[in-house]
C-alpha cells in the first residue's frame, strides 16, 4: 500500500525523538494521554494534509480533563472534515514553559527539504509571523552535504535570532548556550538521514522554541512524503567521442551552398583527422563533395560512428533518434541542431516524447546514445581543428589557441560572442549545450573531473533541469578538490529573464537564492555581469590556478594608479612593499633615470618616462614580493614605449617569462584605440591576458576571488 503523502505531527514527533530533538509529551485523546488532571496542555485536531490547524479552530489551550478534551476533539473533527481533510485524531501535548526576550522574536522556523541539491536546512524566525519576519531577517539556508553543524552554528550566531537566543544583543540575556545549539544542529543532520529513509521530501518544525532551561523544543511539526526522481545519466564515454571522434556522420546536407548542413560539412572538412572518416546520410546520392553517402541510419548499425549530427527539422530529427533506439545502435553521440524540441516552439511536445524514449531505454539497460541539444549550435576543439558549428569561417574564424579552459553555454550565440571578443582565448573545449534534453552541463563537469588537460571551466547558465543542480554540486565539489575553478554566469535572474530563458532554451528557473547558496558552498564562482565573466575568462584561459591575494598595480599613467587604489576590496587588497623592496625599488628607479619622477610606492606609477626595462625590472621586484597577481597598465602614447611589432613581441615575451618563472598571474591593460590592436595582440600571443582598462583586469580577478 502506498504511504500517504502527508506526514502528520505524531509521526513527525516520533522521528524527531529518534534524532535527539525532544518533542513535547503527547498522546491521542482516545489513547490515555500521559497527563494528570489539571495539567496545562494543548489540544490539536490533526487532519490529513492540514498544515495550519489554528485557521480551522483546531488548536485549544486548556487544562487536562479527559472528558472535556474528548468533546472538544469531536467539535474539531467536524470542522476539519468539513474543510476536506481526513481526520487523524485529537493530539494532546504538554504546554512547555518557554524562555522569552521582551519585545523580540524568540521562536524559530526549522525545516528540512529534499532539494535537487540534496537535503537543505532552513532556519529563521518562526511562529505565526514567520513570513513577515523572514522578509526583514531572511532565513539561513544550509546544504547539509556541503557544511557541518559547527559551520551552521557559526552562521547562526551572526543571524539576529541567534544573537537573541545567545544574548549577544545589547541589553539582552542569553536564553540558551552554544553547546545546546550545536546539539540541535547535529540532530538536524541526523534527522535528514532519518527523513530520507522514511521517504520524506519535507519536514517542517514551526515553531521551535527554547524552554525555561534553554533546551530547543519543537512545538509543531509535519512533513510530506514524495518519491525521488530516478537518476538516468548519459553513458560516461560520450566526451571522448565528442572531443576526438574517429568517424562522423552528418544528415541534412544540401547540394546548394549556404545551408546549415552544408556549412557544418565545410567546417568538418577542415579537421585533418576527419579526412576519409566522414559519411553523409543522404538518400539517392552516392557521394557529395567527395564524401560518401548512405541512404539512412540503418547503414550505421553495423558501422557505428562516434558522432552523428542531425541538421534536420525537429520532427525528422526526433524520428531519426527513435530509429536509432529501435535498431539498438549507430552512434555514440547524437547532436540535434534544430530547435523546436522542448522549448517554446515545441507545441506538439516532441521534446518530452523523445526524452521519455531515451529515459526508458537507458533505465531498461538498452543501448542509448548520448544526445546533445536540441538547439545544438556546435562544439569546438582547437587542438584538432574540430568545428561542428554552422557558422561559416569567413564570419568567425575557428579558435586556434589551445589551452586549459573548457567553456559551455546554454546559448550558442553567447559562446560565439565570447570567441569573437576574445580570439586569443586559450580554449581546450567549447560546447553550445542548447536545450539539454539529455546531456547537460553536470554530465560534462563529471566527465571532466579526471581530465588533466582541463584546469578551468566556465559556463553560461539560464536554468537547471530536474536533477541537474544536485549533479552540478557534486561535480563542482570534486573539481574544487582537484583545484579546477568553475565560473558561472547565471542569466534569467529576474521574472522577465526567467520567462525569456524558458521560451529560448526551455531552461527551468527554481529558487535562485538557494541555488546560488549551494553552488557557492560547492566552490562555484559567479560573475555579476557578462563584462565580469569576459574579464574572468581572460584570466582563466591564461592562469587557471589563480589564488586570491594582494594585487600589485604597475602603470605609466597617474590616473590608472589613482583609479587602481579605488578598486581595492576585501578579497583583493593592494599589495604593499616591504622596507627592503622599497629600498631596492628606489635604487632601480635611480638606475633607470626615474629618481625624483616616481614615488616608490604601490600602486607604482612609472610615469611616461619609463622604458620597457623599467617595467620589467619593477615587475620582477613586485612578483618576488607578496603580490598574488600583477596588473600592468600600459598607456602606449609615450615615445619611451616602443610599440613596433618586434619590440612589442620582445617586451611581451619577457613579461610572460617573468610570470611563468614566478608562477604568478600577470595581466596587461592597454587603454587605447584601434590603432594599437597589433600592440595588444603581441601580449595576447605571448599568453598574457589583455584588457582594455585596468578596471576590467581588476574586475576579472575580483570575480574569481
Q: What is the 3-state secondary structure (H, E, C) of 586-636?
A: HHHHHHCCCCCCCCCCCCEECCCCCCHHHHHHHHHHHHHCCCCEEEEECCC
Q: Is the pLDDT of residue 216 over 60?
A: yes
Condensed to tens digits (0 to 9), the pLDDT of residues 276-301 reads 999 999 999 999 999 999 999 999 99
Q: What is the DSSP string of 26-47?
A: EEEGGG--S--TT-EEEEEEEE
pLDDT level of residue 230 (50, 70, 90 thresholds): low
Residue 461: how many CB atoms within 10 A of its CB?
24
What is each CA distance from 668 to 551, 554, 589, 634, in whole angstroms?
13, 10, 21, 7
Instruction: Report, as an integer, the average pLDDT of 60-82.
Output: 96
Cα torsion 311, 313, 318, 323 to 10°: value is -70
Residues with Cβ within 8 Å of 345's Cβ and at least 6 positions away in sequence, in order, are: 339
CA distances from 561 to 94, 115, 572 (A): 68, 47, 15
* Per-residue pLDDT at 496: 45
pLDDT by residue (tens digit) across 446-457? 999 989 999 999
Q: How far apart are CA 103 and CA 627, in angstroms?
A: 50
User: Helices 645-662 and 612-624: crossing angle, nearest 10°?
Assistant: 10
**Is-contact 242 152, C-beta < 8 A?**
no
**Gap between the Cα atoms of 317 and 326, Å rounded:** 14
Kindly state the average pLDDT of the residues 473-478. Answer: 93
| Band (138; pLDDT cuts 50, 70, 90) | confident
Cα dihedral 634→420→242→491 (10° resolution): 90
Q: Name the pLDDT band for 506 (thresholds 50, 70, 90).
A: very low
Give the residues across from 119 on adjacent strands.
114
**215-237 mean pLDDT:** 83
Look at residue 497 and tell me whether its pLDDT is greater than 90: no
Helices 178-197, 9-19: crossing angle, 10 deg rounding = 120
pLDDT higher than threshold 90 for residue 229? no
CB atoms within 10 A of CB 547: 12
- Per the CB < 8 A criterion, the answer to whether 478 and 449 are in contact is yes
Which pLDDT band, with edges at 50, 70 and 90, does 257 fall under? confident
CATH, domain 399-545, list 3.40.50.261, 3.20.20.330, 3.30.1330.40, 3.40.50.2000: 3.40.50.261
Q: What percent of the chain has pLDDT over 70?
A: 95
CB atoms near residue 416 (< 10 Å): 19
Write down the pLDDT at residue 344.
66
Residue 682: band (very low, low, confident or very high) from pLDDT cuts 50, 70, 90: very high
Q: ∠ at Cα 688 (686, 689), nearest 5°?
A: 140
Q: What is the pLDDT of residue 467?
A: 82
242 phi and psi angles, rounded to 5 deg: -80, -40
- What average pLDDT does range 532-556 have in this prediction? 92
The beta strands (E) that lie in 353-481 are given as 370-372, 379-381, 386-387, 402-409, 427-432, 456-461
Given this model, what pLDDT does residue 572 score?
87
Q: What is the residue-averaged pLDDT of the chain? A: 91
In the predicted model, is pLDDT for residue 492 greater than 80? no
State yes or no: pLDDT of 168 exceeds 50.
yes
Task: Specify the pairing of strand 402-409 against strand 379-381.
Answer: unpaired
- Looking at residue 363, its pLDDT comes to 86
Q: Quick one: pLDDT at residue 504? A: 35
Residue 499 pLDDT class (50, 70, 90 cuts): very low
CATH number of 551-704: 3.40.50.261
pLDDT range class, residue 589, cuts 50, 70, 90 = very high
**Each residue's pLDDT tens digit, 381-409:** 999 999 999 999 899 887 777 889 999 99
Q: Pseudo-torsion of CA 23, 29, 31, 33, nearest 10°?
A: 50
| pLDDT tier for residue 493 given thresholds of 50, 70 and 90 | low
- The H helix count followed by the E strand count for the chain is 22, 30
The whole-number pLDDT of residue 464 equals 87
Residue 687 CA to residue 666 CA, distance in Å, equals 10
Q: Is residue 62 scored above 70 in pLDDT?
A: yes
Answer whether 93's CB lies under 8 Å from 27's CB. Answer: no
pLDDT for res 498: 41
Q: How many CB atoms lie within 10 A of CB 82?
A: 9
User: Topology of domain 108-225, per CATH?
Assistant: D-amino Acid Aminotransferase; Chain A, domain 1 (3.30.470)
* Omega before residue 218 within 30° of 0, cis: no
Higher pLDDT, 590 or 512: 590
CATH of segment(s) 235-386: 3.40.50.720
The lowest-confidence range among 81-90, 193-202, 338-347, 659-668 is: 338-347
At residue 494, the pLDDT reads 53
Return the minimum-mean-pLDDT range out of 59-68, 485-494, 625-634: 485-494
Higher-confidence residue: 114 or 305?
305
| 379 touches 309 (CB < 8 A) | no
Report the pLDDT value the prediction gives residue 570, as an integer from 0 to 100.
Answer: 73
The pTM score is: 0.81
Amino acid at each position: 500500500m502506498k504511504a500517504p503523502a502527508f506526514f502528520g505531527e505524531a509521526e513527525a514527533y516520533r522521528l524527531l525523538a529518534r534524532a535527539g530533538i525532544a518533542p513535547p509529551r503527547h498522546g491521542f485523546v482516545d489513547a490515555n494521554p500521559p497527563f494528570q488532571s489539571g495539567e496545562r496542555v494543548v489540544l490539536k485536531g490533526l487532519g490529513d494534509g492540514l498544515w495550519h490547524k489554528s485557521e480551522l479552530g483546531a488548536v485549544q489551550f486548556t487544562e487536562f480533563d479527559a472528558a472535556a478534551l474528548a468533546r472538544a476533539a469531536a467539535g474539531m473533527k467536524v470542522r476539519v472534515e468539513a474543510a476536506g481533510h481526513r481526520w487523524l485524531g485529537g493530539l494532546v501535548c504538554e504546554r512547555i514553559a518557554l524562555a522569552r526576550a521582551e519585545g523580540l522574536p524568540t521562536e524559530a522556523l526549522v525545516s528540512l527539504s529534499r532539494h535537487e541539491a540534496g537535503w537543505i536546512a532552513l532556519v529563521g524566525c518562526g511562529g505565526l509571523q514567520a513570513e513577515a519576519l523572514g522578509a526583514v531577517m531572511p532565513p539561513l539556508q544550509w546544504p547539509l552535504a556541503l557544511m557541518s553543524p559547527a559551520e551552521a552554528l557559526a552562521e547562526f550566531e551572526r543571524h539576529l535570532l541567534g544573537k537573541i537566543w545567545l544574548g549577544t544583543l545589547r541589553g539582552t540575556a542569553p536564553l540558551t548556550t552554544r553547546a545546546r545549539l550545536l546539539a540541535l544542529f547535529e540532530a538536524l543532520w541526523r534527522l535528514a538521514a532519518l527523513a530520507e529513509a522514511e521517504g520524506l521530501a519535507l519536514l517542517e518544525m514551526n515553531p521551535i522554541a527554547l524552554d525555561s532551561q534553554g533546551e530547543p523544543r519543537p512545538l509543531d511539526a509535519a512533513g510530506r512524503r514524495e518519491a525521488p526522481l530516478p537518476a538516468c545519466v548519459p553513458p560516461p564515454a560520450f566526451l571522448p567521442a565528442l572531443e576526438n571522434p574517429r568517424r562522423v556522420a552528418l544528415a541534412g546536407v544540401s547540394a546548394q551552398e549556404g545551408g546549415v548542413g552544408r556549412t557544418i560539412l565545410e567546417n568538418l572538412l577542415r579537421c585533418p583527422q576527419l579526412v576519409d572518416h566522414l559519411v553523409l546520410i543522404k538518400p539517392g546520392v552516392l557521394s557529395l563533395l567527395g564524401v560518401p553517402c548512405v541512404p539512412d541510419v540503418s547503414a550505421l548499425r553495423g558501422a557505428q560512428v562516434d558522432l552523428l549530427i542531425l541538421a534536420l527539422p525537429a520532427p525528422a530529427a526526433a524520428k531519426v533518434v527513435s530509429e536509432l533506439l529501435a535498431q539498438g545502435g549507430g552512434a555514440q553521440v547524437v547532436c540535434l541542431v534544430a530547435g523546436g524540441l522542448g522549448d517554446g516552439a515545441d507545441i506538439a511536445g516532441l521534446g518530452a516524447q523523445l526524452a521519455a524514449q531515451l529515459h526508458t531505454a537507458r533505465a531498461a539497460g538498452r543501448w542509448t546514445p548520448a544526445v546533445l541539444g536540441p538547439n545544438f549550435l556546435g562544439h569546438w576543439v582547437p587542438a584538432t581543428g574540430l568545428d561542428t558549428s554552422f557558422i561559416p569561417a569567413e564570419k568567425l574564424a575557428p579558435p586556434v589557441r589551445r589551452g586549459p579552459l573548457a567553456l559551455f553555454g546554454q546559448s550558442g550565440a553567447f559562446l560565439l560572442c565570447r570567441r569573437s571578443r576574445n580570439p586569443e582565448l586559450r580554449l581546450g573545449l567549447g560546447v553550445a549545450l542548447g536545450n539539454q534534453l539529455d546531456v547537460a552541463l553536470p554530465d560534462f563537469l563529471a566527465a571532466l573531473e579526471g581530465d588533466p588537460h582541463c584546469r578551468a571551466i566556465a559556463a553560461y547558465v539560464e536554468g537547471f533541469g530536474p536533477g541537474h543542480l544536485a549533479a552540478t554540486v557534486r561535480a563542482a565539489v570534486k573539481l574544487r578538490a582537484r583545484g579546477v575553478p568553475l565560473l558561472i554566469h547565471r542569466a534569467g535572474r529576474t521574472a522577465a529573464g526567467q520567462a525569456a530563458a524558458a521560451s529560448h532554451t526551455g531552461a527551468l528557473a527554481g529558487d535562485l537564492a538557494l541555488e546560488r547558496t549551494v553552488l557557492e558552498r560547492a566552490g562555484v564562482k559567479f560573475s555579476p555581469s557578462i563584462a565580469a565573466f569576459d574579464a574572468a575568462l581572460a584570466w582563466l584561459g591564461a592562469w587557471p590556478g589563480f589564488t586570491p591575494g594582494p594585487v600589485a598595480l604597475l602603470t605609466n599613467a597617474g590616473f590608472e594608479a589613482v583609479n587602481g587604489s579605488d578598486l581595492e576590496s576585501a578579497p583583493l587588497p593592494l599589495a604593499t612593499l616591504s622596507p627592503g623592496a622599497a629600498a631596492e625599488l628606489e635604487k632601480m628607479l635611480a638606475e633607470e633615470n626615474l629618481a625624483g619622477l616616481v614615488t616608490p610606492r604601490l600602486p607604482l606609477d612609472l610615469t611616461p618616462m619609463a622604458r620597457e626595462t623599467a617595467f620589467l625590472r619593477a615587475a620582477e621586484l613586485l612578483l618576488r614580493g607578496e603580490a598574488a597577481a600583477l596588473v600592468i597598465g600600459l598607456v602606449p602614447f609615450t615615445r619611451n614605449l616602443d610599440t613596433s611589432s618586434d619590440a612589442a613581441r620582445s617586451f611581451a615575451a619577457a613579461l610572460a617569462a617573468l610570470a611563468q618563472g614566478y608562477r604568478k598571474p600577470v595581466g596587461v591593460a592597454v587603454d587605447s584605440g584601434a590603432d594599437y590592436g597589433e600592440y595588444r595582440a603581441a601580449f595576447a600571443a605571448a599568453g598574457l591576458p589583455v584588457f582594455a582598462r585596468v578596471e576590467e583586469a581588476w574586475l576579472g580577478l575580483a570575480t574569481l576571488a
